[in-house]
Amino acid sequence: MIDMLNYDFMQRALIAAVLVGITAPAVGVYLVQRRQALMGDGIGHVALTGVGLGFLFQTSPIWMAVVVCVLGAIVMELVRARGRQRGDIALAMLFYGGMACGKLLVSMSAQAGSGSLESYLWGSILTVSPSDLSTIAILGAVVIAITIGLRRQLFAICQDEEFARVTGIPVRVLNLLLAVTAAVTVTVAMRVVGLLLVSALMVVPVAAAQQLTRSFAATQAAAIALGITVAVAGVAGSYQADVPSGPAIVLLAIAIFAVFSAIAAPLARRRHRAAADHGPEICEVAIPAQDGGRPHGKPQDATREPAGGTDLHTTSANGAPKSDPIASTGLAQ
Amino acid sequence: MSSVIPDTAPTDSAGARHPVSADAAPAAVSLRDAVASLEGRPVLRGIDLVVRPGEVVALLGANGSGKSTTVKAVIGSVPLERGSHELFGKPYARFKDWHRIGYVPQRTTAAGGVPATVREVVSTGRLPQHRLLPFRRRDRDAVDRALDAVGMLDRAEDGVANLSGGQHQRVLIARALVGTPDLLIMDEPMAGVDMASQQILADTLRREVERGAAVLLVLHELGPLEPLIDRAVVLRDGCVSHDGPPPKDVGQHALPGHDHVHPHADDDHLHNTPRLLA
């Protein structure tokens, strides 16, 4: 197990895995918050055109992918901001056009065989070159600075864009910044996870984390911790079992999601019981006709929202008395 | 029916609470001849709306009359095709003092994809104050005060997804109050809100008015907020059909074009429960 650290390529792959494990969920949490969970998938498709261009002109596919992804993400953001009903059609054109264009360009280039494209689609631990690693490190640092440093601003625009505008923060600029950051993250992650699975590492750790968390900040932190865990474990497993790293990482993440979902319900129930000072677990309202018997059906609503029922008609005249579960109990006895 | 509401031309507010300051300071909101459309359909056809400092103005009208669009035009999320739009005496394009405005959007049931606590949501209302700087002690204290004002301090660390409609509305109002705004803009604050929360909202609003804040309220009916309201502007098909004292003892039901659709999900049990317990 430890001997894999003796290889330079494994050291690079593991460092890249840590960076990917941090950046993908750090951006993904905002996309999930805004219900744009599949945006990363779209950018991944578009990135293929960048990879194809890199092959064709024999330049760095990563930097070409950065350029193309950023342009694609800006187009996606503009389509989203317009809120057009046909926006999804426009996005479909972009995604499939990007993918088709990428494959076409790769096949036109003299350099690459199919194996090379394969490593971009599914991720590979063998292909993180020293220059790739420095690119990934620079881009990753930028992504981390933006997603952690501007957390309150980005949370505000993803949580309630209209309200954020009224706080005077530059909503349009921040929206574009988030889209560009997502695009950069895709290119950071594509060597390790692969373009087809990049979005999974943005979404699945967040989905898993939020099974157990209540706050946005905690969700982001837990998702990053999970991201690092599955990326490093996936790369290590990929070395051991000789499988592509992308699928190994994603299946691990989904396994963790399944476990967290399974333990979420019992945990929530215990938490609820701890905070059960809001009233008895079972109704105590007695209906006179039933002579103190435990009521069923409708009257339960009366206990849950005692405020409405009994005070309705006195309210508009002189202000409602404070709601009080005891009041409805008393009235019933 | 038209005799119930005097169809007068827009008049200067007769019942303004602060006539002196109204003359001196520029209006908090001033829309003149505002025209706007949504997806090609004209929604505002030349609206005049003025809210003076310290004044409480209710915007009434049937569904589809343009109330919400007017509010969205005021905050700038629906662009005007024609007309002038000033906030605190500055043209909208040059307005920068967003910390003076507290906005309470119409409550939706759509939750975000990631959990967030009450405190996190209310803290976003503090962005105009701390901007890019870290969230400091005084920001945190302001959030605590706003939560306390709406009686939600004890739920600060709870997830917003677990709140009732009324509690959620109180959180949105705390978010607007956290920066102590000079103008509060609220879109249907009482819709789908239980009675206890309605009372808390009315009390909170009264304190804000006493503090001197101007308020622009979109309302379905005057309800428990009636005593606070200085002036009512009634919209009808994108035009102002009344601007003056609030129509007395006249709810939404008497307004032209009212279609008797109630947004209050709780109405049924509100009406049924007293009978059940009697």
Q: What is the pLDDT of residue A36?
A: 87
Q: Say how many C-beta atoms besides its own lie within 10 A of residue B253's C-beta.
A: 8
Q: Which of B268, B40, B31, B264 is nearest to B165 (CA)?
A: B264
**Å between A69 CA and nearest CA of chain B:** 24
Contact A166 B270 (CB under 8 A): no
**Å between B191 CA and nearest CA of chain A:** 14
- What residues in B contact A316, CB-CB < 8 Å? 223-224
Residue with tokens 């701390």: B130
Contact B75 A165 (CB under 8 A): yes
- What residues in B contact A305, CB-CB < 8 Å? 164, 194, 266, 269
For chain B, say whether A152 makes contact (Cβ under 8 Å). Answer: yes
Token duo for residue A171: 């909503």
For chain A, say whether B223 makes contact (Cβ under 8 Å). Answer: yes
- DSSP output for A149-170: HTHHHHHHHHH-HHHHHHTT--
A262 or B12: which leads in pLDDT: A262
A142 or B179: which leads in pLDDT: A142
Q: What is the pLDDT of residue B264?
A: 46
Tell me which residues of chain A, numbers 279 to 298, contact chain B at a CB-CB cutoff of 8 Å.
Answer: 287, 298
Nearest CA in chain A to B78: A162
Condensed to tens digits (0 to 9), the pLDDT of residues B78-112 reads: 899 999 999 999 999 899 899 999 999 988 766 77
**Å between A187 CA and nearest CA of chain B:** 24
Contact A168 B98 (CB under 8 A): yes
Condensed to tens digits (0 to 9), the pLDDT of residues B120-157 reads: 999 999 998 887 888 888 999 999 999 999 999 999 99
For chain A, say whether B249 makes contact (Cβ under 8 Å). Answer: no
Give this complex's ipTM. 0.80
**Å between B183 CA and nearest CA of chain A:** 12
Indicate the pairing of strand B29-38 with strand B41-51.
Answer: antiparallel
Using the predicted structure, report yes or no on whether residue B114 has a pLDDT greater than 80: yes
Q: What is the pLDDT of residue A294?
A: 46
Q: What is the pLDDT of residue B38?
A: 86
Contact B277 A160 (CB under 8 A): no
Q: What is the mean pLDDT of chain B?
A: 81
- DSSP output for A174-216: HHHHHHHHHHHHHHHHTTTT-TTTHHHHHHHHHHHHTTT--SH
Where helices occur in B82-233 by DSSP H, the ranges are: 118-123, 127-130, 137-149, 165-177, 195-211
Using the predicted structure, report yes or no on whether residue B24 has a pLDDT greater than 50: yes
**Å between B29 CA and nearest CA of chain A:** 14
Using the predicted structure, report yes or no on whether residue B241 has a pLDDT greater than 70: yes
Are B190 and B220 a contacting pair, CB within 8 Å? yes
Please name the member of B97, B120, B272 whose beta carbon is closest to the beta carbon of A155.
B120
Please name the member of A29, A215, A299 whose beta carbon is closest to the beta carbon of B276.
A299
Query: Residue B265 — pLDDT band, cuts 50, 70, 90?
Result: very low
Fold of B27-110+181-277: Rossmann fold (3.40.50)
Q: What is the pLDDT of residue A152?
A: 93
Nearest CA in chain A to B181: A167
What is the Cβ-side half-sphere exposure of residue A111, based on CA atoms within 13 angstroms? Answer: 15
Using CA atoms, how far apart are residues A313 and A311, in angstroms rounded to an integer?
6
Query: What Rg, from alpha-carbon coordinates, does chain B have?
Result: 19
Tell me which residues of chain A, numbers 167 to 186, contact chain B at a CB-CB cutoff of 8 Å.
Answer: 167-169
Please name the member of A155, A158, A162 whose beta carbon is closest to the beta carbon of B77.
A162
Q: What is the pLDDT of residue B6?
A: 44
Contact B120 A153 (CB under 8 A): no
Nearest CA in chain A to B164: A305
Question: Average pLDDT per run of 10 along chain A, which is 333 residues long?
Answer: 83 93 96 89 92 88 92 90 74 89 87 72 84 92 95 93 91 94 92 90 95 94 97 92 90 96 85 60 61 45 42 39 39 35
**Å between B202 CA and nearest CA of chain A:** 9
Condensed to tens digits (0 to 9), the pLDDT of residues B33-45 reads: 999 988 888 899 9
For chain A, say whether B224 makes contact (Cβ under 8 Å). Answer: yes
Nearest CA in chain A to B107: A160
N-terminal to C-terminal alpha carbon distance within chain B: 37
Contact A169 B194 (CB under 8 A): no
CB pairs under 8 A between A and B: 156
Nearest CA in chain A to B273: A309
Q: Which residues lie across from A146 on neighbouring strands?
A: none
Nearest CA in chain A to B132: A150
Delineate the domains of chain A, giving CATH numbers in brackets: 2-271 (1.10.3470.10), 288-332 (no CATH)
Q: Say how many C-beta atoms besides its own lie within 10 A of residue A164's C-beta.
A: 23
Nearest CA in chain A to B94: A168
For chain A, say whether B277 makes contact (Cβ under 8 Å). Answer: yes
